[in-house]
Amino acid sequence: MKFKMLFTALVLSGIMFTSCGDDKKKEQEEKAKMEQMEAEREAEMQAEKERMEMESNSIAAKAMETDTLSTLVSALQSADLAEMFKTEEGPFTVFAPHNGAFAKVDKATLESLMQPDNKEKLADVLKYHVVSGEVTSQQLVQAIKDNDGKYEVSTVGGGKLVASIEGENVILTDENGNKATVVMTDVDASNGVVHVIDAVVMKKA
**CATH number of the domain enclosing 185:** 2.30.180.10
Q: How far apart are CA 143 and CA 137, in angstroms?
A: 10
Task: Judge contact between 174 and 185, C-beta under 8 A.
Answer: no
Task: Judge contact between 69 and 199, C-beta under 8 A.
Answer: no
Q: Which residues neighbour 66 within 8 Å (Cβ) at sequence distance 6 or greater?
A: 187
Residue 14: its pLDDT value, please? Answer: 55
Residue 81: its pLDDT value, please? Answer: 87
Total number of domains in the chain? 1
Task: Judge contact between 157 and 124, C-beta under 8 A.
Answer: yes
Domain that holds residue 64: 57-197
| Segments in the chain below pLDDT 70 | 1-23, 43, 45-56
Q: Give the up-direction half-sphere exposure of residue 132: CA atoms within 13 A in the CB hemisphere.
A: 7
- Would you say residue 27 lies in a domain? no
- Would you say residue 26 lies in a domain? no
- Would you say residue 166 lies in a domain? yes
pTM summary value: 0.74
Residue 31: its pLDDT value, please? Answer: 75
CA 48 to chain CA mean position, Å: 14
Region of 186 on the Ramachandran plot (φ > 0 left; ψ -120 to 50 alpha; else beta): left
- Would you say residue 39 lies in a domain? no
Number of neighbouring beta carbons within 10 Å of residue 59: 28
Task: Judge contact between 191 and 92, C-beta under 8 A.
Answer: yes
Say how many Å lie between the first and final Cα of the chain, rounded.
Answer: 107
Q: How far apart are CA 110 and CA 102, in angstroms?
A: 8
Task: Judge contact between 76 and 82, C-beta under 8 A.
Answer: yes
- Would you say residue 82 lies in a domain? yes
- Would you say residue 83 lies in a domain? yes
- Would you say residue 126 lies in a domain? yes
Residue 16: its pLDDT value, please? Answer: 57
- Would you say residue 40 lies in a domain? no
From residue 21, alpha-carbon distances to 17, 27, 28 in Å are: 6, 10, 11
